[in-house]
Structure 1
Amino acid sequence: MSRVLVIESSARTEGSVSRQLTADFIGQWQAANPQDSIKVRDLAVEQVPHLDIDLLSGWMKPADQQNEVERAAAARSNLLTDELLAADVLVLAAPMYNFAIPSTLKSWLDHVLRAGVTFKYTETGPQGLLTGKRAFVLTARGGVYSGSPMDHQEPYLRQALAFVGIHDVTFIHAEGLNLGAEFLEKGLAKAREQLAQVA
């Protein structure tokens, strides 16, 4: 049995294409792998605070030296990190906002990319500790940005995941969604065609 962790990051709870892709992914994955467990964390509903001094200072102290606020911040980060550590498959649903990712997803990454936990520093440089995991990134884009210098979404996420040792990453882009009905239809069809092959 594999454990799948899904991270929803669209600010829109209705009418979101990235959420449609997630629903398609989950349905197809469950049909092909009924024994697997799927955990969904919705960052629009369960918001993750931005990295702040309470979390930074909490990380730097032993648990018995943390104050109440630091302890709560560290506990939240530990919960998110433990979910990632336990997962065999990670799914990031990420609409493109201003050429990159939603700030909520960046906040989640700031909580789980942790030295000594998901990566470590060595004499030869950083080493990811999450080897053996697979990741799927489902994106929704108003324009067409793949291969463009304006795409700061895929390069960043690919680098962030590789940094913690996740190199088996599949990106599925639904693009051109705001360029008219024909582009919308083609963009969704292409993404769903790719989704049908992942489970």
Structure 2
Amino acid sequence: MPTLLHIDCSMRQDSSVTREITAIFVEEWRQANRDGKYVYRDLGTSPIPHADEAAVVAGLLPREALNDYQRVAWAVSEPLINELREADTILLGVPMYNYSIPSVLKVWFDRITVKEHMIGDPTSEGLLTGKRTVVVTARGGAYGPGTPRERYDFQTPYLRALLEQIGLDRNLEFVHSEMTLAHSVPSLEQFKPIADASREEAVKAVCRLALAS
């Protein structure tokens, strides 16, 4: 039975582009995988507690060696880790905040990046290797190759690095929706056609990727 783990992290609700596009992916995936299991986490409305020293150490030690503080910390991390391990496809909805990822998603990575998931080098195999990862982003401006703000994109390279260290970069797809602020910022109004075209391409991409899962 295929399992989809879907994570949203936008602070926005109805007006969130990432939520809109990941929801389209989910709808298509569930239609194509009627016997599949769907797991959803909304980090934007239900954030995970920040990792502290006890949480980090708990991810490094055998479970039987944990003290009381570490066991409490592990009780937060363990469900997240189990969800990730059980998933065949991981869908991340990631808006760009201040050129990078939302802090609530960083906390999720801090919790699931444990010793057992780390791989020694980019070519070695790990517990998570072989899973499929789809990252849906929304960016208020344009950060693609050749654009004036390309060098400000700390979102995509950072996510690639995080996913690579736990082996989730082998079957990785990014879907970008750019210039999303064109419809809400008057000075960017001229870029509405670019924003609309980018969103349309993102929708087409997630529909294709969902059916290929």
* Structure 2 CA distance for partners of 1:189 and 1:121, relative to 1, 3 Å: closer
Structure richer in strand, relative to its length = 1
Q: Counting helix residues as a fraction of each chain, which structure ranks higher?
A: 2
Q: 1:190 maps to which residue?
A: 201
Select the residue among 138, 148, 151 that pairs with 1:149.
151
- CA distance 1:125–1:182, shift in 2 (3 Å): closer
Partner of 1:178: 181
Offset of 1:177 from its aligned partner? 1.0
In 1, distance between residues paired with 2:28 and 2:123?
39
* 1:80-126 CA distance string (max 9 Å, x none): 111101111001100011111101111100111111x212448x998
Alpha-carbon separation, structure 1, partners of 2:165 and 2:154: 16
How many residues of Structure 1 are paired with residues of Structure 2 in the alignment?
A: 197
CA distance in 2, matches of 1:38, 1:51: 26
The answer to whether the Cα contact below 8 Å between 1:119 and 1:127 also exists between their aligned partners in 2 is: no
| TM-score (ref. length: structure 2) | 0.84
Amino acid at match of 2:48: V
Partners of 2:63 and 2:91 in 1: CA distance = 31
Tell me the equivalent position of 1:164.
Answer: 166
Provide structure 2 residue ranges, at least 5 long, that are not aligned to the other structure: 183-188
Matches within 5 A, 1:68-147: 68-115=68-115, 117-121=116-120, 128-147=126-145
Q: Which amino acid aligns with 1:191?
A: A
Q: Indicate if the aligned counterparts of 2:59 and 2:114 stay in contact, CA closer than 8 A.
A: no
Alpha-carbon spacing, 1:65–1:133, altered in 2? closer, same or farther (3 Å): closer
Shift of 1:46: 2.3
Contact kept? 2:119, 2:167, Cα under 8 Å: no
Between 1:56-65 and 1:172-181, the stretch displaced more is: 56-65
Q: Is the 8 A contact 1:99 1:151 kept in 2?
A: yes
What percentage of residue pairs aligned between the two structures are identical?
35
- 8 A contact 1:126–1:163 mirrored in 2: no
What are structure 1's unaligned runs of at least 5 residues?
none
In structure 1, what is the equivalent of residue 186 of structure 2? Answer: none
Aligned pairs for 1:28-39 within 5 A: 28-39=28-39
- State the superposition RMSD in angstroms: 2.1
Shift in Å, 1:138: 0.4
Deviation at 1:182, TM superposition (A): 2.3
Partner SS for 1:6? strand
Residues 127 and 164, structure 1, Cα contact 8 Å, conserved in 2: no
User: Matched residues in 2 for 1:146 and 1:165: separation?
Assistant: 25
The answer to which of 42-51 and 22-31 deviates more is 42-51
